Structure 1
Amino acid sequence: MIEEINYNAVPGTTHLVDLEGKMNAHHSSGDSKIVLIPTPSDDYDDPLNWSPRRKWLAVFCNVVYTYGVGIPSAAIYSVLTNIAKETDITLGELNAGTGYMFLFFGLGCVIFQPIALQYGKRPVYLFSLFATCLICVWAPYSKSNGEWIGGKILQGFFGSPIESLCEITMSDLFFEHERARGMGIYALALITSNFMAPMLAGFVSDGMGWKWVMWLCSIFSAVCLVFLYFFMEETNFKRDYSQIDSGMTVLEGIGSDPESLAEDNLADGEKPAQREYKGTNTKNHHTVEVPSSNILFQPKPRKTFKDKISLTGGFKDKFLLPHYLLGPFKMARFPSVLWAGFLYGSSLVFFNLLNATESTVLSGAPYNFSAAMCGLAYISPNICCVVVFLMAGYMSDYLKVSLAKRRGGTSLPEDRLWILVVYMVLGFLACIGWGVGAHYEVHWIVLVISMGLMGGLTVFGCTAAVTYCSDCYHEMDTEAMVVVILIRNLMSFACSYGLTDWVLNMGYKNSFISAACLTLFCNATFLVIRASGPYWRNKTKAQYWKIVEHKRSVEAGI
């Protein structure tokens, strides 16, 4: 049975805080006023119901995968000049190849995201790491521009799950009021992997040559692959649509904590008990009690270790791959999704601009840093990433809850976007410090601090864009995330393809002054979305719920 969808409900607008304590809903164990969204099922193998230990192991596996693919993709940044000297590939061609890699990081999502929905996320993650491991072996043998670009295209395509699938895994594990924390951890892993790699690569290049940079990356990916095979668990979960949020009716447990259903909290042989349930009508964001009924939780066998490491645990019973392939194209019509892609893409443009100029600025006069020292400079953005994560992740969730309390319990996805004020101001100053500082040859410490801010603040863009998109259209967030990443990586490709000419033709000073102004403008667009986002979500609600209803009907075989 599929619960009827209320076409009048505005996607993303939720009753997150139960101020009067009268809602018949699951509440957070940390704050009894916070309503758990989405509604957890009655199954203790539902990722939303996992125990803290099981959840955080899944998060750690997500981080391991991110490093396993992210480090090989960024390890060359501090040794670009070394590669150009030893091959027939120019610096411009090397940067262009990196641009193609980012392009296919986005295009690959169109293929791998639907495959993950059909056959499970776990096998896609493992295959992605295996392919990355093999491609890293090939890279040192590239002698021409064609070989280099070909290798980068394959690396981007097979590594593409790092861009969109990881966000969906985090969304599988966390409720709305804690989602930014999970997304922030992913963003931290993604960005620090891109900064840590060149930091270590510089030392490897000085001691063993740049080819060993890629060979060691291959070994590292192989180690990550083995770890994930034994510890990564599938987060795809088949939900009963008659028991989850449908835009109209939500079946909620009275006074129950989802962790009480978790595997680790059940004694051996213990089975879920019968619980009294009531329906909650959430039409137009008001809570109205409807007649209660008793639902008997059917006992289900607990997953064994063999079940958890199965490669077929996420397989769908029906072949729905064509429908999943079309899903992202349907979500490309919604303004909130398109803007989230633009925001994420703009943050990556400046990240790529920094990486492309770091080696040439610090290795040139008057600084004359060695490859190892150029790599060591990446300590700064790594430190800033950790600091920004603590601000972005926790600040975003705090704003989500506190603004909902002020509004009487109603929460809007746009509430999270106020964190971009910090990015808007500090990002502008960081671009000026790096580019203008390099032009006037200021002390290297100014450049390193500016470099740290430019890199670390990217966490804000990633966290804000991904959580906003997921909050707006959680029922279709997997498909929507493909659109976001595709836009992001198309922007990244355009920047990487032309950033060498941008800097050479304008110089460090003017190119980074323009970058600073673009940073300010791009982040300031959140003010427009803050004002118009609710209007557009309301305007397109019928189209959205029609897509959701069709997806659920197809999955249910109706």
Structure 2
Amino acid sequence: MTGQTINYDAIPGNTNLVDLDGSMAARHSSGNKKIVLIPTPSDDPDDPLNWTPRRKWMSMFCVVVYTYGVGIPSAAIYSVLTNISAKTGISLGDLNSGTGYMFLFFGLGCMIFQPLALQYGKRPVYLFSVLATALVCIWSPYCKTNAEWIGSKILQGFVGAPIESLCEISVSDIFFEHERATGMSIYGLALLTSNYIAPVVAGFITNGMEWEWVMYFCSIWGAVAFIFLFLFMEETNYNRKVNPVKVLEAITSIDMVAESDMNVSSDNEKINPVLSNKTVEERLGNINENFDTSDEVEYPKTSSRTWVEKMSFTHGLKSKFLLPHYLLGPFKMLFFPSVLWAGFVYGSSLVWFNLLNATAGMILTAPPYNFSPSMVGLSYISPTIFSCVFFFLSGALSDWMKVFFAKRRPDGLSYPEDRLWILIIYMVLGFLASIGWGVGAYYEKHWMLLVISMGVLGGCGIFGVAAGVTYCSDSYHELDTEGMVVVIVIRNLMSFACSYGLTHWVTNMGLKNAFISSACILLFCNGTFLIMRYTGPYWRNKTKHLYWKFVEENRKILED
């Protein structure tokens, strides 16, 4: 990257996603010639962006398997908490507190495992995480005190932390901007359904055996997932080389949108990103720091790697030791309001998920419903079904809106905020479902109302993934790995803070008042997207110089 200069006037996240008149000298989608491929892929068939559809979907399936391998053990006990409490003497409040600690370390662990994945590769980190989770599951059945229980949950959360942030980066590695939300929603669907299917199975296991066997089976499942990933999961870390003569980048570096177009000022004209008199070097100045444009590289048309080479543990290894740099990188992203808000909106979705899990056993096992553990488990089929339904209203709709708005702007301009309109669905349905679940239980309405409300409230969590995570990645894609750590830490700190007092909240306020208040808070949290929709461009423009300064610092460290 020697000689390349950063364009500090470029607004992060603004891209020319649609080539309206076919004048852009950029790589285009084979399915739709008007859509520009962002980021620009290299010519290497082993570049994850260039993988064949079969290879990409196998990688995505491996992410799903990993998510189930770690997600199922983290949620399997939700339907049998009362059984665990009766057997161990640990109160429901303490059991839920243990869950809160687990989610806290799911977030904090990202600050360790994310840098390790960048330095040594994602594949080794995934394999260690799922195997360690399988081993930790064996400890839980032997916990007899609150301290032991919390200790096991802290360790389980720490080793399972890659499920929270590394999966999103793996999705970003293989999908382009215009299809990224679909990939994120598949991950979100796996994350949610793993947490909903687990209690279903756990309830039947507890009825036929003892609750301890729930964790033993989780350990077995984790071992199976480890074997599968060992055989089929490829490394997605990649040092991308793009030839500036062959590919004129049509992304952030040349998307010089004037402040007037961003609702900031009316004094400046918008600079045409294609026709402006910029050199190739300047236009390529703000490409991701992993790009190398120094020499043209000739690649074969198809991958020449064997299966053994594809499963190598060294493909993601950095030759230079950069671990201290990667460890400190996420702290830089605390300066960007868009990243902080993404963590907030994603975190709020987890709060309602935890509130639902904390009260499911409490409500459904009590009169007049008197559900058995297996029946409580079966009730989780409802959020599983609704998660699948909302999957199509989150990822696919989000990607469609991204292209839809870009087609209606000059030069096909796309903003990260274009995706956020999907949160309207969450606002309305989440509010009604929260009322139906808590108030319905208070007035002892038919169990069908509760189960449907449970499904809608639980399934809506996928909107938090599709909106929050993708917004962060779209806004600051050059540093999305560091930004994702901040998003997940905020998300899980919110989860921990709320989980610590969920039982007391419902007990002290009562079901009716607690869930009326939760419905209003849910409405407010998701409604903040309206504020971000109109202030997000301002903040990205306001902090652009600081952002590109960090990007340039990263490049220098990588080049030295």
Summarize deviations over 1:230-286 as a string: whole Å, max 9, x none: 00000000123x65xxxxxxx475xxxxxxxxxxxxxxxxxxxxxxx5566725151
In structure 1, give the amino acid aligned to 2:78.
Answer: Y
Say whether the 8 Å CA contact 1:25–1:252 is kept in structure 2: no
- SS class of match (2:501): helix
Partner residue in 2 for 1:313: 315
Say whether the 8 Å CA contact 2:121–2:237 is kept in structure 1: yes
Partner residue in 2 for 1:266: none
Q: CA deviation at 1:310?
A: 1.4
Partner residue in 1 for 2:369: 367
- SS class of match (1:332): helix
Summarize deviations over 1:500-549 as a string: whole Å, max 9, x none: 10000001100000000000000000000001000000000000011111
- The 5 Å alignment of 1:282-361 reads 282=254, 284-285=256-257, 286-288=273-275, 296-299=296-299, 302-361=304-363
- SS class of match (1:284): coil
The 3 A distance-change label for structure 1 pair 208 and 153 is: same
Q: Is 1:103–2:75 an aligned residue pair? A: no
- The 5 Å alignment of 1:367-446 reads 367-408=369-410, 409-446=412-449
* Alignment partners' CA distance in 2, 1:278 and 1:307: 32
Q: Is 1:458–2:445 an aligned residue pair? A: no
Q: CA deviation at 1:297?
A: 3.8
Partner residue in 2 for 1:233: 234
In structure 1, give the amino acid aligned to 2:274.
Answer: T
Partner residue in 2 for 1:259: none
Say whether the 8 Å CA contact 1:183–1:393 is kept in structure 2: yes
Partner residue in 2 for 1:192: 193
Q: CA deviation at 1:54?
A: 0.3
* Alignment partners' CA distance in 1, 2:217 and 2:420: 39
- SS class of match (1:104): helix
Partner residue in 1 for 2:124: 123
Summarize deviations over 1:166-204 as a string: whole Å, max 9, x none: 000000010000000000000000011000000110001
Say whether the 8 Å CA contact 1:6–1:283 is kept in structure 2: no
The 3 A distance-change label for structure 1 pair 291 and 77 is: closer
* Alignment partners' CA distance in 2, 1:336 and 1:139: 39
Q: CA RMSD in A?
A: 1.6
The 3 A distance-change label for structure 1 pair 411 and 206 is: same
Say whether the 8 Å CA contact 1:109–1:161 is kept in structure 2: yes
Partner residue in 2 for 1:478: 481
- SS class of match (1:137): coil
In structure 1, give the amino acid aligned to 2:133.
Answer: T
In structure 2, give the amino acid aligned to 1:154.
Answer: L
Q: CA deviation at 1:296?
A: 5.0
Say whether the 8 Å CA contact 1:78–1:201 is kept in structure 2: yes
Say whether the 8 Å CA contact 2:165–2:485 is kept in structure 1: yes
- How many residues are aligned here? 526
Where does structure 2 lack aligned partners over 5 or more consecutive residues?
Answer: 258-272, 282-292
In structure 2, give the amino acid aligned to 1:316.
Answer: K
* Alignment partners' CA distance in 2, 1:169 and 1:340: 18
- SS class of match (2:42): coil
* Alignment partners' CA distance in 2, 1:203 and 1:159: 25
In structure 2, give the amino acid aligned to 1:446.
Answer: L
* Alignment partners' CA distance in 2, 1:468 and 1:287: 25
Say whether the 8 Å CA contact 1:133–1:217 is kept in structure 2: yes
The 3 A distance-change label for structure 1 pair 333 and 290 is: closer
* Alignment partners' CA distance in 2, 1:58 and 1:379: 27
Bigger mean CA deviation after superposition, 183-192 or 287-296: 287-296
Say whether the 8 Å CA contact 1:199–1:375 is kept in structure 2: yes
Q: CA deviation at 1:302?
A: 2.5
Say whether the 8 Å CA contact 1:423–1:523 is kept in structure 2: yes
Summarize deviations over 1:106-138 as a string: whole Å, max 9, x none: 000000000000000000000001110110011
Q: CA deviation at 1:290?
A: 6.9
Say whether the 8 Å CA contact 1:279–1:291 is kept in structure 2: no
* Alignment partners' CA distance in 1, 2:529 and 2:215: 39
* Alignment partners' CA distance in 1, 2:306 and 2:5: 35
Partner residue in 1 for 2:146: 145
* Alignment partners' CA distance in 2, 1:125 and 1:552: 27
Say whether the 8 Å CA contact 1:178–1:397 is kept in structure 2: yes
Say whether the 8 Å CA contact 1:278–1:291 is kept in structure 2: no
The 3 A distance-change label for structure 1 pair 149 and 292 is: closer
- SS class of match (2:31): coil
Q: CA deviation at 1:554?
A: 1.0
* Alignment partners' CA distance in 2, 1:26 and 1:117: 27
- The 5 Å alignment of 1:467-546 reads 467-546=470-549
Partner residue in 1 for 2:265: none
Say whether the 8 Å CA contact 2:71–2:194 is kept in structure 1: yes
* Alignment partners' CA distance in 1, 2:321 and 2:124: 17
Say whether the 8 Å CA contact 2:43–2:299 is kept in structure 1: no
Partner residue in 2 for 1:26: 27
Partner residue in 1 for 2:289: none
Q: Is 1:41–2:28 an aligned residue pair? A: no
In structure 1, give the amino acid aligned to 2:521.
Answer: L
- SS class of match (1:22): coil
In structure 2, give the amino acid aligned to 1:476.
Answer: L
Summarize deviations over 1:279-307 as a string: whole Å, max 9, x none: 66725151137789998542367222111
* Alignment partners' CA distance in 1, 2:119 and 2:42: 21
Say whether the 8 Å CA contact 2:16–2:255 is kept in structure 1: no
Say whether the 8 Å CA contact 2:115–2:323 is kept in structure 1: yes
* Alignment partners' CA distance in 2, 1:296 and 1:135: 48
Q: CA deviation at 1:59?
A: 0.1
- TM-score, normalising length: structure 2: 0.92
The 3 A distance-change label for structure 1 pair 449 and 545 is: same
- TM-score, normalising length: structure 1: 0.92
Partner residue in 1 for 2:290: none
Summarize deviations over 1:333-355 as a string: whole Å, max 9, x none: 10000000000011100110000
Bigger mean CA deviation after superposition, 531-540 or 286-295: 286-295
Query: Segments of 4+ in structure 1 off by > 4 A?
Result: 277-281, 289-296
Summarize deviations over 1:41-88 as a string: whole Å, max 9, x none: 121111000000000000000000000000000000000000000012
Summarize deviations over 1:379-434 as a string: whole Å, max 9, x none: 10000000000110110000000001011200000000000000001100000000
* Alignment partners' CA distance in 1, 2:194 and 2:513: 29
Summarize deviations over 1:185-228 as a string: whole Å, max 9, x none: 00000011000000110001100110000000000000000000
Partner residue in 2 for 1:220: 221
